[in-house]
Amino acid sequence: MANRPYIVGNWKMNGTRALLAEARAIDRGAARAAGVRVAIAPPFTLINPMADAVQEIGVGGQDCHVQPSGAYTGDISAPMLKDAGASFTIVGHSERRAMHGESDAVVLAKAGAALAAGLDVIICVGETEAERDAGQAESVVCAQLQGSLPTGEDVAAKVTVAYEPVWAIGTGRVPSVDDVSAMHRAIRDRLVAIYGEDGAGVQILYGGSVNAGNAAELLSADEVGGALVGGASLTAESFLAIVVAA
Ligand code: PEP
């Protein structure tokens, strides 16, 4: 059976409890869009209250530590996310890779920690503008996949890949549909090389400046199974317009 389109909101470092009203409205809207799978990754502080406030949508983390517990001041572990009500976590977002120096090896370790805690993982990959201009976009993304994707029995079913060109995040700029299709086909080939036939079922999300106006076109590109949405996921109105477009 084909996967339902998967639309995930990444709230980043935005939101206090006042924003739970938007999550409730998104949850009500998602209940009317049964053909679409919807989730939000709020800041850590909102995972537990959001999980209690919603019924239809998934709630997840934006990152996790590689260790389950210990002397890591300020960090949050995958078992803690699970305990708070998360069902998945994002790992390897380009903001973590760039601002926290996370290598593919660290992303791989975080993905493994998440799976060990019983969470699904969304693993982000994407090239910088300089890498695209140098004609290296596909090789960079394929190397990130090779280095960041956990392997093992039954792992593919718990993995989602998000292709997020770094230069499209929060900029209002998006790749052409042809470029999105070409990259997503290359990612699919790599997933099949890594996971065998299970790689055909891994959902590949596009992320980077998705909004109500461009969602339908971006989601129509080859091998695009949904979207990872930043800024436009912060209000029910803009996020649900993307859900409806899916
Ligand atoms: C993101 O950071 O994951 C993202 C896609 O952000 P935006 O939609 O704001 O570009």
Q: What's the pLDDT at 112? A: 98
- Beta strands at 6-10 and 159-163: parallel, antiparallel or unpaired: unpaired
Annotated binding residues, written as ranges, equal 10-12, 170, 209, 230-231
The answer to whether the CB of 139 falls within 8 A of the CB of 109 is no
Q: What's the pLDDT at 207? A: 98
The answer to whether the CB of 160 falls within 8 A of the CB of 123 is yes
Which helix (H) or strand (E) is 185 found in, with range?
Answer: helix 177-195
What proportions of the chain, in percent to the nearest 5, are helix, strand and coil? Answer: 50, 15, 35
Amino acid in the structure at residue 106: V
The token duo for 163 is 């292709």
Residue nearest to atom 6 of ligand 1 (CA): 230
Annotated binding residues for substrate, written as ranges, equal 10-12, 170, 209, 230-231
- Beta strands at 6-10 and 37-41: parallel, antiparallel or unpaired: parallel
Distance between CA 214 and CA 168 in Å, rounded? 13
Write out the chain's pLDDT in tens, 246 residues: 578 999 999 999 999 999 999 999 999 999 999 999 999 999 999 999 999 999 999 999 999 999 999 999 999 999 999 999 999 999 999 999 999 999 999 999 999 999 999 999 999 999 999 999 999 999 999 999 999 999 998 999 999 999 999 999 999 999 999 999 999 999 999 999 999 999 999 999 999 999 999 999 999 999 999 999 999 999 999 999 999 999
**210 Cα nearest atom in ligand 1:** 8
Binding site membership of 236 for ligand 1 (Cβ less than 6 Å): no
Binding site membership of 210 for ligand 1 (Cβ less than 6 Å): yes
The answer to whether the CB of 3 falls within 8 A of the CB of 225 is yes
Per-residue exposure over 222-241, b if at least 16 CB sit within 10 Å of its own CB, e if not? ebbbbbbbbbbbbebebbbb
**Quick count: other Cβ atoms within 10 Å of Cβ 221?**
20
Catalytically active residues are 93, 164
Residue nearest to atom 7 of ligand 1 (CA): 230
CA-nearest of 136, 132, 141 to 162 is 141
Distance between CA 233 and CA 38 in Å, rounded? 11
- Quote the ligand 1 centre to 222 CA distance (angstroms): 20
Q: What's the pLDDT at 2? A: 72
Q: Is the dihedral of CA 104, 110, 114, 120 positive or negative?
A: negative
Distance between CA 122 and CA 239 in Å, rounded? 19
Architecture of the domain whose range is 63-158: Alpha-Beta Barrel (3.20)
**Quick count: other Cβ atoms within 10 Å of Cβ 40?**
28
The token duo for 245 is 């477009």
Binding site membership of 10 for ligand 1 (Cβ less than 6 Å): yes
Q: What's the pLDDT at 177? A: 97
Residues 15-53: pLDDT tens digits?
A: 999 999 999 999 999 999 999 999 999 999 999 999 999
- Quote the ligand 1 centre to 81 CA distance (angstroms): 22
The answer to whether the CB of 207 falls within 8 A of the CB of 162 is yes
Binding site membership of 231 for ligand 1 (Cβ less than 6 Å): yes
- What are the start and end residues of each CATH 3.20.20.70 domain in the chain? 63-158
Is ipTM over 0.95?
Answer: yes
Question: Counting beta carbons within 10 angstroms of the beta carbon of residue 189, is it exposed (0 to 12), middle (13 to 18) or buried (19 or more)?
Answer: middle
Q: What's the pLDDT at 47? A: 98
